[in-house]
Structure 1
């Protein structure tokens, strides 16, 4: 497998979790638990606040996370990992950790992760067309991670590894605005 790099504190946590999951043969199970927790964060403003806010103590975060994980049925390696992250006051990095784990898991399977940001949700046919084009461009199996950002107005941004293609209407309008200011 080609070396996949994840950096920073979140990268070290992601790599440690991935290595434990790989050694235990539970990469898919851990990924499913991470995805479920990520979906819970996306759906709950209170959970977002708990994860991102420095106001809560480590004890408060640890107790709250334990209760949430118990109710969601997330245990095992992923459950222990979330509790450890909370105890170490690193819960604010959990979303970055989950992205890093996804990258490492995808690399293990020979996949490449493309982070796609769009103004409106992609239809299944548009997602399939984009995936097919990226598969052909990279020569690998590409996994799309789609995020919706209405501020783009239209178009899309595609981040594939360290490369970013920004074909959003917002960027094009900003370029025109800059060009107009230079003409004056």
Structure 2
């Protein structure tokens, strides 16, 4: 049986690579990156858009029509808009979040950076983001681009993913570890 997350990430990487090549050919890498980031933010912030992307209950036509209206209102570029409408027509819109993440990684690699996915309980201040970027750059020896996300369920601390490495200093994880240790004792 195929592992669903790896299937999604494979599809996402293929589509993100295709978008990267299209943007490169059109000499529009930065403009497409801006549009992809905007779409990624929309996906994170809108439950309705996420449902539209992930639910198989919506027809291809409904998805394309909704995306067209959203992209026009958000004033996304034609290349990015058309690309994601093709993704929807191919019934692969469920991979949109993965495509956004993969495109970020491709752009970071193109610039010689490494993407660090950082999840915090509260938004990082500019000062803390700069300090974290410096620490990670020292550890990896490469320039770091932060992709931040807020998850209040962490309670405190942060989770950092750089490549295949993950550092979890969240209070939620520490409390779960303590809970497990207490069960083993009792």
Does TM, scored on the shorter chain, surpass 0.5? yes
Q: Conserved in 1, the CA contact under 8 Å of 2:9 and 2:95?
A: no
Gapped regions of structure 1 (runs ≥ 5) = 1-5
Q: CA deviation at 1:44?
A: 2.8
Q: 1:3 maps to which residue?
A: none
Secondary structure of 1:25 counterpart: coil
User: Cα RMSD (Å) of the superposition?
Assistant: 1.5
- Structure-1 separation of matches of 2:74 and 2:102: 22
Give the length in aligned residue pairs.
179
2:119 matches 1:117: yes
- Structure-2 separation of matches of 1:12 and 1:151: 32
Q: 2:23 maps to which residue?
A: 21
- Structure-2 separation of matches of 1:88 and 1:152: 36
Q: CA deviation at 1:45?
A: 2.9
Secondary structure of 1:70 counterpart: helix
Q: Once superposed, which parts of structure 1, at least 4 consecutive aligned residues long, lie more than 4 Å away?
A: none
Q: CA deviation at 1:40?
A: 2.4
Q: Conserved in 1, the CA contact under 8 Å of 2:32 and 2:77?
A: no
Q: 2:139 maps to which residue?
A: 137
Q: 2:3 maps to which residue?
A: none
Write out aligned runs for 1:13-162 (5 A). 13-162=15-164
- Structure-2 separation of matches of 1:170 and 1:7: 27
Gapped regions of structure 2 (runs ≥ 5) = 1-7
- Structure-2 separation of matches of 1:57 and 1:101: 26
